[in-house]
Amino acid sequence: MNVVIEEPERLGQTELPGGRLLGWAEWGPQDGAPVLLCPGAATSRWLGFGAEAISDLGVRLVSVDRPGLGASDPMPGRTLDDWADDVRHLAEARGLGRPAAIGYSQGAPFALACAAAGVVAGAAIVSGTDELAAPGFADALIPQVRGMVEAVADDPAAAEASFAGFGDPETMWEIAITGSSDVDRKVYLQPSFERAYRRAMAEAFAQGPAGYARDTVLATGRWPFDPARITVPVDLWYGSHDTSPVHSPDLGAALAGRIPTAHRHVVAEAGASLLWTHSEPVLRSLLRRTAGV
């Protein structure tokens, strides 16, 4: 499947209370239905998705760099709850109202934090990182991932320093490719996609590895919110060929059971790249479920 990646139509930074800047990129009509993208690990606002679907559905896609990545100022010691506050301020400043959100891969807990705080009208979690530190997953994780979870639980600061030590664009690219199924490699290695993905990674590390390291600590540790208290609609999307060891050991089955409003989709022919291969159904379902919320 040929995946089309288009450069952002609009780029900018928004000042938050206190003076920090959040970098963002937009695609689609400015008066379209706002959908906020929480990008995957070690990537930035530059990597969009679903150009044709965005146009056909009238979506205003807003991808936002988390603090310390890309064009967003750092915020040492930040939490998932801090991210929800940042999104609240960004939405007010950019006239987004109460947008829907998409959390891709490591962006999942950030999107769910916004859902738990009521900042967004609903969320689609696509190939999302589950709460890997939840007790029920202890025996389901591969040893390397279990070691990461235990390291974060034992000494978060030391784990963060360790993540920063190996965080760089080339290493992240090699991890993504070697851990992917053949279905996903066929997408990622398309020349236009690889260029866009690598560019997003290069920008993500423009300030160094600290932003990536903090993201990884937050995604690998216990979440500060209870998924059972989420009241807005949540779609969980997984591909049956998703072989990433840091997404979900059961393709979102346990997470769906923890979120009362969740609707789980498992796409038989897809892998972790389904944000790009199945953009239209992801967006269409999200818009339908958040209409009027």
* Ordered structural domains, the chain, with CATH: 10-290 (3.40.50.1820)
Helix, strand, or coil here: 17?
coil
Please give the single-letter amino acid code of residue 146: R
Predicted pLDDT at 107: 98
Cα 124 from Cα 277, distance rounded (Å): 15
Where in the chain does DSSP place strands (E)? 10-15, 21-27, 33-38, 59-64, 100-104, 122-126, 234-239, 262-267
Closest CA to 102 of 131, 46, 63: 63
- β-partners of residue 125 are 103, 236
Edge-to-edge strand order for the sheet containing 100-104?
Answer: 10-15, 21-27, 59-64, 33-38, 100-104, 122-126, 234-239, 262-267
Predicted pLDDT at 138: 87
Predicted pLDDT at 2: 85
Contacts of 276 (CB under 8 A, 6+ apart): 3, 5, 49, 50, 187, 193
Low-confidence residues in the chain, pLDDT < 50: none
Predicted pLDDT at 242: 97
Cα 241 from Cα 188, distance rounded (Å): 14
* CA 74 to chain CA mean position, Å: 18
- In eight-state DSSP terms, residue 19 is S
Cα 293 from Cα 99, distance rounded (Å): 10
Helix, strand, or coil here: 165?
helix
Q: How many CA atoms lie within 13 A of 293 on its CB side?
A: 23
Predicted pLDDT at 1: 76
Predicted pLDDT at 253: 97
Predicted pLDDT at 180: 95
> How many CB atoms are closer than 10 A to CB 199?
17
Predicted pLDDT at 251: 97
